Structures are given as structure tokens and as C-alpha cells.
């Protein structure tokens, strides 16, 4: 999991089903499935992971000036031929739930 947000950092100790990594999510409206292209993005833009879902959500959030945070859990990846693990979706949901609870608590304290 990759985090760059104070709220997500605050609850990262609650996540015990994998390793949390802070980094940059590379996202676009296409699937980067070539290792050389993924490596190019990593070397030139400092990406830690590739996906294709967060870019559109980030663009809408920016357009309406709404805070945005993408949280991803990798079930597998092209760079290490990882095997797909279907349990990652539930693990991500549990962590996102904790982040949202913490964020709501932060807003209430303001």
C-alpha cells in the first residue's frame, strides 16, 4: 500500500495484512503493461506503482477543488510476475474504512 497523507499515515499501524509504502501512484487513462515503460515512469517521474483508475478521480476532484487521496493495494504486478491474490480487495476496504473514520474524526475536531 502506498500512502502520502497525514490521515492515512496516522492509521497505518492498523494495517497488518501487508507492507505499507509511501510513494507516487502512476495513473493514466491507459494500462501500462510493458516493463520498460513502467521503469521509464519510475525513473522519470518517481512512480512507485502503476494503475489506471485514480487519474480520472483525481481530475474530477481537482476540477471541483475537492481533496483527493488514492489508496491502492497491489494484488499482483507485472514487474515481479506476482500471483493474483483476491483477498487484497477486502484488505484494502478495511484500511480505507480506518482512514475515512480518522478523517471524519479530524473534521469533527476542527
Percent of the chain with pLDDT over 90: 21
pLDDT at residue 71 above 90? no
Mean of all residue pLDDT scores within the chain = 84
Structure-block grid coordinates of residue 36 = 520498460
User: What's residue 46's pLDDT?
Assistant: 92
pLDDT at residue 1 above 50? no
Q: What is the pLDDT of residues 7-51, one digit of tens each?
A: 888 888 888 888 888 888 888 888 777 889 889 999 999 998 888
**Beta carbons within 10 angstroms of residue 3's beta carbon:** 22
Q: Report whether 25 contacts 49 (CB < 8 A).
A: yes
pLDDT interval class at 80 (50, 70, 90): low
Q: Report whether 27 contacts 91 (CB < 8 A).
A: no
d(CA 102, CA 89): 20
Identify the DSSP state of 5. S
Amino acid at each position: 500500500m502506498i500512502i502520502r497523507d497525514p490521515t492515512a499515515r496516522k492509521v497505518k499501524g492498523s494495517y497488518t495484512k501487508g507492507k505499507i509504502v509511501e510513494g507516487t501512484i502512476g495513473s493514466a487513462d491507459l494500462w501500462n503493461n510493458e516493463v520498460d515503460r513502467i521503469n521509464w515512469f519510475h525513473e522519470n517521474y518517481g512512480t512507485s506503482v502503476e494503475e489506471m483508475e485514480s487519474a480520472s478521480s483525481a481530475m474530477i476532484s481537482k476540477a471541483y477543488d475537492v481533496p483527493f487521496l488514492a489508496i491502492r493495494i497491489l494484488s499482483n504486478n507485472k514487474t515481479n510476475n506476482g500471483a493474483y491474490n483476491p483477498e487484497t480487495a477486502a484488505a484494502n476496504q478495511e484500511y480505507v474504512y480506518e482512514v475515512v473514520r480518522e478523517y471524519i474524526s479530524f473534521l469533527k475536531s476542527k
